[in-house]
Amino acid sequence: MSTLSAIDEHNDHHDHKPKGMMRWILTTNHKDIGTMYLIFSFLMFLIGGAMAMIIRAELYQPGLQIVEPNFFNQMTTVHGLIMVFGAVMPAFTGLANWLIPMMIGAPDMALPRMNNWSFWILPMAFAILLSSLFMEGGGPNFGWTFYAPLSTTYAPDSTALFVFSIHIMGISSILGAINVVVTIINMRAPGMSYMKMPLFVWTWLITAFLLIAVMPVLAATVTMVLTDKYFGTSFFAAAGGGDPVLFQHIFWFFGHPEVYIMILPSFGIISAIVPAFSRKKLFGYSSMVYATASIALLSFVVWAHHMFTTGMPVAAELFFMYCTMLISVPTGVKVFNWVATMWRGSLTFETPMLFAIAFIVLFTIGGFSGLMLAITPADFQYHDTYFVVAHFHYVLVTGAIFSIMAAAYYWLPKWTGNMYNESLGKLHFWASLISVNVLFFPMHFLGLAGMPRRVPDYALQFADFNQLVSIGGFAFGLSQLIFLVVVIKCARGGEKAPAKPWEGAEGLEWDMPSPAPYHSHTTPPVIK
């Protein structure tokens, strides 16, 4: 192994990267593209986070102090769109780009030029979306789920821009997914059989198939909204023979697999980090693969659990209730496997491990509220309240986002060649952990007490918890600036990182120097 790395290094003395702006615009290198995705996603995370700060500032007290209700609705809508399509998904794609080729022994992604386009159309898409906020009539204000006819007949003029930006984001995701599938299937080094691949590669392979299956359905949905609004079709308008509930079925057929798209790569990340810091192999590797595949398959038959109040017949409600409850089984299996990995390991608690442990606990809490939501009769009281807001923020923030941060801390030494500052990392962790729970846990109570979601103002009995939540929100937002400092400092310098800074780490990427060479695996490694 090490001889091959030496040969790689030797080969790479000739690695001429172009200099300056043009390097980044023209690059087809998976490491450069991965870096761009990650930086872009962090920028979008901060922008979407700023919108959340506006939301929480308005909700700090009863009364409309800061923004008009219509602008508030734009904030909640665009916050959601940015976080889903601009922060979480590009971050996972950035990790895929950086790590998959290194982990499977490939020199780069299968389709490097398409890779470049996949990235660069994203800033375009978000420029279009954000600019719509400044149009007359305002930007999209109908929720990230854009139900018709609020998003058709009753929507602002900017809706066309919203539609186009979603089309572009979708194309980016689809092209990225194709690249991932082709890379994993065709470019594994000899000896890297499917059941030897790191779990991160498995989870991304399955995620990519989900993306290929459902992003086109989103494209169809959003095109139907466009034609209903501007070209006189009646997909969702009763007057012309259409049905607003049809929108929800088509949207959620995409929407539910989408949320699994946003969490499966997390499972892969945690499955890399926990064994490393337990100094013990992942427990139940094959079960983990099968569980991930089951979750992906089941995700196609649960969509209507977002629609229990639309007036479905009992038989349909029961079907979706049972299937949704069922998804908790493979998910639970994964959690048990991580705990079993830690059990009788030899544990240390560097920052990546802290985030991974927090993920296991807090994502599971989000899973529990999800299971509660699956119980249809109870859902009639939870639906469209802050209980739902609590649920999805637990799985997305303390779930997906924490796993992304764990990944960043874990692999930053490999990417930059420098160790990040461990004290600052731990500070970031503890500040985030405490503030995120102050921010989202009380939302469970708000929902149970009867506060609906997507409202800019509320009755007095909700005031105390809302104030607490807002304080948590401001604190969480500020805590992310610590992460910004950590990343910038690490990129600029720090204690030199060895090839394998983490004693228990496993995987081909740890056999090469830190920082990883610009062109790695130029000759395929030998797999044991």
Partner 1 sequence: MLGLISSSVFATSSLNMTKGVTDISQRVYDLHMTILIICCVIGVVVFGAMFYAIIKHRKSQGAVAAQFHESTKVEVIWTIIPFIILIGMAIPATKTLIEMEDNSEADITIKVTGSQWKWHYQYFDHDFGFYSLLSTPREQYENQNGKNADVVKGENYLLEVDRHLVLPIGKKVRFLITADDVIHSWWVPAFAVKQDANPGFINEAWTIINKPGIYRGQCAELCGKDHGFMPIVVEALSQADYDVWLAGQKQDIAKAEVAAKQALASTLTMDDSMALGETVYMTRCAACHQANGAGIPGAFPAIKGSPIALGDIGAHIDIVVNGKAGTAMQAFSGQLTAKELAAVITYERNAWDNNTGDVVQVSEVNAKGAK
Partner 2 sequence: MSDEKKSRDASTGAALKSKNSVLMAKLFSAIVLMFGFGYALVPLYDVLCEVTGINGRLVNDNREASTAVDESRMVRLQFTTSVAPGMPWQFKPKVNYVDVHPGENTVVYFKATNQSNLAVTGQAVPSVSPGIASLYLNKTECFCFEQQILNSGESVDMGLVFFISPEIPQDIRTLTLSYTLFNVTQPISKPSGDLQAAL
Among 311, 460, 492, 528, binds partner 2 (CB under 8 A): 311
- DSSP code of 461? G
Q: Is 16 a catalytic residue?
A: no
Bin 502: left if φ > 0, else alpha if -120 < ψ < 50, else beta. Answer: beta
Please state the closest distance from residue 156 (CB atom) to partner 1, in A. 6
- The interface partner of residue 189, options being partner 2, partner 1, none and the CB cut-off 5 to 8 Å by kind, is partner 2
Omega prior to 140 cis, within 30 of 0: no
**Which residue in 30, 334, 414, 521 is the catalytic one?**
334
For partner 2, the binding residues in 237-276 under the rule CB under 8 A are: 238-241, 243, 245-246, 249-250, 253-254
Q: Is 470 a catalytic residue?
A: no
Cα–Cα dist 45/55, whole Å: 15
- The interface partner of residue 217, options being partner 1, partner 2, none and the CB cut-off 5 to 8 Å by kind, is partner 2
Find out whether 54 and 66 touch, Cβ atoms under 8 Å.
Answer: yes
For partner 1, the binding residues in 8-67 under the rule CB under 8 A are: 62-66
Find out whether 420 and 490 touch, Cβ atoms under 8 Å.
Answer: yes
Q: Is 14 a catalytic residue?
A: no
**Which residue in 8, 108, 228, 509 is the catalytic one?**
108
Q: Nearer to partner 2 by C-beta: 77 or 221?
A: 221
Please state the closest distance from residue 19 (CB atom) to partner 1, in A. 44
**Which residue in 79, 167, 229, 444 is the catalytic one?**
79
Q: Is 496 helix (H, G, I), strand (E, B) or coil?
A: strand
Residue ranges of alpha helices (H) inside 375-462 are: 376-382, 386-393, 402-416, 422-449
Q: What is the dihedral of CA 97, 100, 106, 107, to 10 degrees?
A: 30
Tokens linked to 376: 């249809």
Q: Is 317 a catalytic residue?
A: no
Find out whether 30 and 101 touch, Cβ atoms under 8 Å.
Answer: yes
Find out whether 399 and 366 touch, Cβ atoms under 8 Å.
Answer: yes
Find out whether 67 and 133 touch, Cβ atoms under 8 Å.
Answer: no
**Which residue in 453, 454, 489, 519 is the catalytic one?**
453
**Exposure string for 57-89, b = 16+ CB within 10 A, e = fewer:** ebbbeeeeeebeeebbbbbbbbbbbbbbbbbbb
Angle between helices 351-374 and 422-449 (to 10 degrees): 10
- The interface partner of residue 455, options being partner 2, partner 1, none and the CB cut-off 5 to 8 Å by kind, is partner 1
- DSSP code of 385? B
Tokens linked to 206: 């399955």
Among 2, 131, 309, 423, binds partner 1 (CB under 8 A): 309
- Is residue 193 within the footprint of partner 2 (CB under 8 A)? no
The identity of residue 402, as a single letter, is: F
With CB under 8 A as the rule, give the number of residues binding partner 2: 57
For partner 1, the binding residues in 426-485 under the rule CB under 8 A are: 445, 448-450, 452-461, 465
The tokens 């503030």 sit on which residue? 435
For partner 1, the binding residues in 259-288 under the rule CB under 8 A are: 278-287
Among 49, 123, 143, 494, binds partner 1 (CB under 8 A): 143
Q: Nearer to partner 2 by C-beta: 174 or 272?
A: 174
Taking CB under 8 A as the rule, which mask of x and - marks residues 144-173 in contact with partner 1?
---x-xx--xx-xx----------------
Q: Is 444 a catalytic residue?
A: no
- DSSP code of 264? H
Among 57, 114, 182, 340, binds partner 1 (CB under 8 A): 340
State the Cα angle at 400 between 398 and 401, rounded to 5°. 70
Please state the closest distance from residue 522 (CB atom) to partner 2, in A. 7
- Is residue 231 within the footprint of partner 2 (CB under 8 A)? yes
Please state the closest distance from residue 216 (CB atom) to partner 1, in A. 25
CA distances from 299 to 293, 320, 325 (A): 10, 11, 11
Identify which range of 28-36, 181-189, 324-332, 468-476 contacts partner 2 by CB under 8 A. Answer: 181-189
Please state the closest distance from residue 22 (CB atom) to partner 2, in A. 25
Q: Nearer to partner 1 by C-beta: 151 or 173?
A: 151
The burial class, CB within 10 Å (0-12 / 13-18 / 19+), for 521 is: buried
- The interface partner of residue 213, options being partner 2, partner 1, none and the CB cut-off 5 to 8 Å by kind, is partner 2
Cα–Cα dist 246/228, whole Å: 13
Which positions touch partner 2 (CB under 8 A)? 7, 106-107, 110-111, 135, 152-153, 155, 157-161, 174, 178, 181-182, 185-187, 189, 212-221, 224, 229-232, 234-235, 238-241, 243, 245-246, 249-250, 253-254, 311-313, 316, 522-524
Catalytic residues: 79, 108, 144, 172-173, 256, 258, 260, 271, 305-306, 331, 334, 453
